[in-house]
Amino acid sequence: MDRHEVDWEPLREAAVRMTERAYAPYSGYPVGVAGLVDDGRVVAGCNVENAGYGVTLCAECGMVSDLVAGGGGRLRAVWCVDGRGATIMPCGRCRQLLSEHGGPECLLQTPEGVLTMREVLPQAFGPQDLYRT
């Protein structure tokens, strides 16, 4: 999918709305994310922190749960924002999540413009790397 074919604004709006639902009492750093699925639906998530800090769920984890629980599909385009509405990069672990469910051609809004998952996670480990019997 070409970056110009994506209707980006609804994704940004959904991501910003998600920051208002975030549970981030420890970091004070709400995150929201929204993704366009290949069947046209929009999935979204927010970060959910925990008193056991390491148990925290990133916004992208919530979005991927929304994707799978809602019937699955492939992510085509993703936009991740902070509580000020600024575009942020997914953390390393979440790039792996996005790579699994969007593949190398999935588009990502970044502070440096639209990039592919291939560009933000080069040589990604993926299903093709697992031994098959």
Residue 85 Rama label (left phi>0; alpha psi -120 to 50; beta):
left
Q: Which stretch binds ligand THU (CB under 6 A): 5-13, 63-71, 89-97, 109-117?
A: 89-97
Interface with ligand THU includes 56 (CB under 6 A)? yes
Pick from 20, 27, 71, 105: which binds ligand THU (CB under 6 A)? Answer: 27
Active site residue 112: no
List strands edge to edge, sheet with 107-110.
42-46, 31-37, 75-82, 107-110, 113-116
Q: At closest approach, how far in Å is the CB of 30 from ligand THU? A: 8
- C-alpha distances in Å from residue 114, one per residue of 2, 21, 95, 109: 10, 26, 15, 5
Q: How far is the CB of 18 from ligand THU (least distance, A)?
A: 10
Residue whose pair of structure tokens reads 């098959």 in the numeric block: 132
Interface residues with ligand THU (CB under 6 A) are 24, 27, 29, 31, 47, 49, 56, 58-60, 90-91, 94
